[in-house]
Amino acid sequence: MTLSRLDLSRVRAVTLDLDDTLWPVWPTIERAETTLRAWLTDRAPATARLAADSHHQRRAREAVLQAQPEIAHDLGRLRREAIRHLLRLAQEDVTLAEPAYEVFYAARQRVDLFPDALATLQLLSARFPVVALTNGNADVHHIGIGGYFHDALNPAKVGVSKPDVRFFQAGAAAAGVAPEAVLHIGDDAQLDGAGALAAGMQTVWVNRTDERWPPELPDLPHAEVPSLTALNALLG
């Protein structure tokens, strides 16, 4: 599928996904988890061993969600409380949860941008107010790209996450326009594409891995590109 039915004359603002759109997310998360475990090894070695086990990680997350379902959309709080749960399970100092999370959070902001990301940010921000919409907890200001963004929203701020239509509506409101005047750009067909389309936005799907658009989704994106370089060409 390669579509281009964009009506750029309607676009007054852009909402932009972060993880896996501007940088690959899993190398970032893995590096942050390694940094966290190294920090814990010196201060809470039993917890560090639990944190290295995917089974214990998953069980900690499940236990936190069961006890505090209201924080399901706040990945930062969820991560912090999962660390606290592991410390408690290991019978180590639970007050380490806060500084441990700060270590993880700082490492999580060290991302490796795709080679074409800065050119895209420069192009978009020169023409439109750009609002970041992320389900994660990356901080564009900590990363050093905050100057390209009019605003940045995440589930901790909005109270819902993609693909909830309210998240996209909040992005449009932050840009000061109606959803119909927004172009949303992201890599995830379900979270970015379907959510933005349901909100009435135009969409560009950044499909780097040549995936098939999920046939169960009712609407197609307005355009598909294999890279941000191709997006720049599409937008002229």
Find, among 22, 20, 224, 2, the residue nearest to 124 by Cα.
22
Amino acid at site 156: A
pLDDT of residue 236: 85
DSSP string, 78-101: HHHHHHHHHHHHTTS-GGGHHHHH
Residue 15: strand, helix, or coil: strand
pLDDT of residue 188: 98
Find, among 203, 183, 181, the residue nearest to 191 by Cα.
203
Find, among 153, 142, 154, 150, the residue nearest to 126 by Cα.
150
CB 120 within 8 A of CB 228: yes
pLDDT band per the 50, 70, 90 thresholds, residue 4: low
191/46 Cα distance (integer angstroms): 37
* Whether residue 115 has pLDDT greater than 70: yes
Q: Which parts of 126-222 are beta strand (E)?
A: 130-133, 151-153, 182-186, 202-206
- The residue-averaged pLDDT of 91-119 equals 98
151/158 Cα distance (integer angstroms): 13
For the stretch 162-219, pLDDT in tens is: 999 999 999 999 999 999 999 999 999 999 999 999 999 999 999 999 999 999 998 9
For the stretch 51-71, pLDDT in tens is: 999 999 999 999 999 999 999
Q: How many CA atoms lie within 13 A of 215 on its CB side?
A: 0
Which residue bears the tokens 């490492």?
107
- Domains of the chain in start order, with CATH, are 8-23+113-235 (3.40.50.1000), 26-108 (1.20.120.1600)
For the stretch 16-35, pLDDT in tens is: 999 999 999 999 999 999 99
User: H-type helices in 109-222, by residue range?
Assistant: 117-127, 140-143, 155-158, 165-175, 195-198
Find, among 142, 123, 92, 52, the residue nearest to 134 by Cα.
142
**pTM for the model:** 0.93
The residues near 54 (Cβ < 8 Å, ≥ 6 apart) are none
pLDDT of residue 5: 84
* Whether residue 1 has pLDDT greater than 80: no
